[in-house]
A = this chain, B = another copy of it.
Amino acid sequence: MNLIDKINRLKTLKSDLYKKDFLLTWEKSYDDLEMIIEVADILKDLRDHNISPKVFASGLAVSIFRDNSTRTRFSYASAANLLGLEVQDMDEQKSQVAHGETVRETANMISFLTDMIGIRDDMYLGEGNKYMREVAEALDEGFKEGVLPQRPGIVNLQCDMDHPTQSMADLLHLKKEFGSLENLKGKKLVMSWAYSPSYGKPLSVPQGIIALLTRYGMDIELAHPEGYELIPEIVEIAKKNAEASGGSFKINHSMKEAVKDADIVYPKSWAPFHIMQQRTELLKKADKAGLDALEKTCLAENAKFKDWEYDDEKMKLSKNGKALYMHCLPADITGVSCKEGEVAAGTFEQFRIKTYHEAGFKPYIIAAMMFTNQFKNPAKTLKKIFKKQKKRKGI
């Protein structure tokens, strides 16, 4: 399909993204989600054709990262830059956040000339998404009271509940791999826990995956050892989504069994829900000894499940022995990044480039979230961009 046709197709979507924050995929309609992945795809096409989709002459895109990150940080910076916004990091070391400022005040102080705010806050269970909503409320008030000339949009760059820029990039990747969203119907995807020598990895990726992909009529199987549960409310959402979409959702306690006949496997470590709850309490109390003890216990527990490594043997059990392997990266690769990990080196290598492609959609997903937040009629604005044919590179 050519670019103009792609743009015109957007008009059939009834999305409601304008001036709405993107915090959880399950708060968004099908048309919202489709709008995001289609706009992402079009923005990528435009750039690939050396057409600049720059829509801001100035403006800040603030990033608040409460956890380290390479890929999300660069994805966010790339997205902002593509549209003409300049990233300004709200670094807690550089700023006074830690010194008793209220979220309410800070949210306004950083937003006078800000169009978008990206937040990553995935350390504390029950906190990350809540924090984003606190910021949102503060911005609502600031805008209502005339403090802010615009209400900056918020993009969730990963919280305790969801990781929508990841899951949406994954969705676009699947669309590309299988040809269309319709083609995802009836496909079996296994979101599986996998062994890792580290503990305390966030739950947001598996939660984001099961809550989003159950909406597309897929057969989703969540596999993990007993005790490695996700947040129950989100598992509930996945179940309901599957029912409504004509797909299915199952929980399995064996990676080996789960991957049978799978079209897609997503093996990734995470910490059990109840451990994350304990960890959150200890982090809040800054209980170093308690955290160390918890880590020791957890690592010992994890060590019982070293066979939860995805390898060629398990891959052979999948559909035609070649299920699509997915990962949000970086993966814990046995013998490469760790002694024993989530995936065997040879297995990973077969899909390494595919995982790079998967990751490559993220900047455009974020750009699409910004674009749809900022422009009421994305099709119209994209058409203007196309007509203007402003070169991204060159003169």
Contacts and interface: CB of A to CB of B under 8 A. Distances in A.
A359 to B, nearest CB: 6
A145 B353 contact: yes
Contact of A70 (B109, B363, B393): B109
A56 B54 CA distance: 11
Contacts of A332: 100
Interface stretch (A26-34, A80-88, A293-301): A80-88
A356 interface: yes
A374 B330 CA distance: 30
Contacts of A71: 109-110
Contacts of A62: 74
B78 A112 contact: yes
A39 to B, nearest CB: 15
A340 interface: no
Interface stretch (A154-162, A241-249, A383-391): A383-391
Nearest to A144: B353
B337 A102 contact: yes
B54 A54 contact: no
Interface in A74-100: 74-75, 77-78, 81-84, 86-88, 90, 94-97, 99-100
Interface in A130-173: 141-142, 145-149
Tell me which of A52, A74, A363, A385 has the highest count of chain B C-beta atoms within 10 A of its own C-beta.
A74
A392 interface: yes
13 contacts: A74-B88, A74-B110, A82-B113, A86-B86, A100-B332, A100-B337, A100-B338, A105-B356, A108-B356, A109-B329, A115-B393, A375-B394, A384-B395
